[in-house]
Amino acid sequence: MDRTRPDMPSAERKKPIDTPELRERTVSSMVSAALLAVIGTLIFAWALRTPEYPWLFAVGALPWAAGLFMFGRALWKYTRN
Protein backbone atom coordinates (compact mmCIF):
# COMPACT_ATOMS: atom_id res chain seq x y z
CA MET A 1 0.00 0.00 0.00
CA ASP A 2 1.43 3.34 -1.03
CA ARG A 3 1.38 5.78 1.90
CA THR A 4 1.93 8.86 -0.27
CA ARG A 5 -1.27 8.59 -2.27
CA PRO A 6 -3.53 11.61 -1.74
CA ASP A 7 -6.76 9.61 -2.12
CA MET A 8 -6.11 7.70 1.13
CA PRO A 9 -7.80 8.87 4.34
CA SER A 10 -5.54 10.79 6.69
CA ALA A 11 -5.90 8.11 9.38
CA GLU A 12 -4.13 5.63 7.12
CA ARG A 13 -1.20 7.91 6.28
CA LYS A 14 1.73 7.50 8.60
CA LYS A 15 3.64 10.65 9.49
CA PRO A 16 7.40 10.09 9.30
CA ILE A 17 9.21 10.80 12.55
CA ASP A 18 11.99 13.35 12.31
CA THR A 19 15.43 12.49 13.67
CA PRO A 20 15.38 14.54 16.92
CA GLU A 21 11.99 13.14 17.91
CA LEU A 22 13.08 9.60 17.04
CA ARG A 23 16.27 10.03 19.08
CA GLU A 24 14.27 11.41 22.03
CA ARG A 25 11.84 8.48 21.96
CA THR A 26 14.70 5.99 21.67
CA VAL A 27 16.59 7.46 24.60
CA SER A 28 13.49 7.57 26.81
CA SER A 29 12.70 3.93 25.98
CA MET A 30 16.27 2.90 26.73
CA VAL A 31 16.26 4.74 30.06
CA SER A 32 13.00 3.05 31.03
CA ALA A 33 14.46 -0.29 30.01
CA ALA A 34 17.56 0.32 32.10
CA LEU A 35 15.42 1.18 35.13
CA LEU A 36 13.43 -2.04 34.71
CA ALA A 37 16.67 -4.01 34.45
CA VAL A 38 17.96 -2.39 37.66
CA ILE A 39 14.72 -3.25 39.47
CA GLY A 40 14.97 -6.83 38.24
CA THR A 41 18.60 -7.06 39.36
CA LEU A 42 17.72 -5.77 42.83
CA ILE A 43 14.99 -8.39 43.11
CA PHE A 44 17.48 -11.06 42.00
CA ALA A 45 19.92 -9.88 44.69
CA TRP A 46 17.17 -10.03 47.28
CA ALA A 47 16.30 -13.56 46.13
CA LEU A 48 19.93 -14.61 46.64
CA ARG A 49 19.87 -13.29 50.21
CA THR A 50 16.63 -15.05 51.10
CA PRO A 51 16.78 -18.57 49.63
CA GLU A 52 13.50 -19.54 51.32
CA TYR A 53 11.64 -17.54 48.65
CA PRO A 54 12.63 -19.14 45.32
CA TRP A 55 9.71 -17.47 43.55
CA LEU A 56 11.57 -14.15 43.87
CA PHE A 57 13.83 -15.27 41.02
CA ALA A 58 10.81 -15.45 38.71
CA VAL A 59 9.56 -12.08 39.97
CA GLY A 60 13.00 -10.58 39.30
CA ALA A 61 13.10 -12.07 35.84
CA LEU A 62 9.91 -10.27 34.76
CA PRO A 63 11.13 -6.64 34.88
CA TRP A 64 14.59 -7.66 33.72
CA ALA A 65 13.21 -9.45 30.65
CA ALA A 66 10.79 -6.60 29.95
CA GLY A 67 13.67 -4.13 30.13
CA LEU A 68 15.78 -6.23 27.80
CA PHE A 69 12.89 -6.46 25.33
CA MET A 70 12.22 -2.69 25.49
CA PHE A 71 15.89 -1.86 24.96
CA GLY A 72 16.19 -4.20 22.00
CA ARG A 73 13.00 -2.91 20.42
CA ALA A 74 14.08 0.73 20.81
CA LEU A 75 17.49 -0.03 19.31
CA TRP A 76 15.89 -1.93 16.43
CA LYS A 77 13.50 0.92 15.63
CA TYR A 78 16.27 3.51 15.84
CA THR A 79 18.62 1.66 13.52
CA ARG A 80 15.88 0.82 10.99
CA ASN A 81 14.61 4.41 10.49
Higher pLDDT: 9 or 76? It is 76
Assess if residue 32 is contained within a domain: no
Assess if residue 2 is contained within a domain: no
pLDDT grade, residue 3 (50/70/90)?
Answer: low
Q: What is the pLDDT of residues 5-24, one digit of tens each?
A: 556 565 555 666 778 888 89
Number of independent structural domains in the chain:
1
Residue 73 structural domain: 37-81
Assess if residue 79 is contained within a domain: yes
Assess if residue 68 is contained within a domain: yes
> At how many degrees (to 10) do helices 55-80 and 19-49 cross?
160
From 70, 68, 76, select the one nearest 29 (Cα to Cα). 70
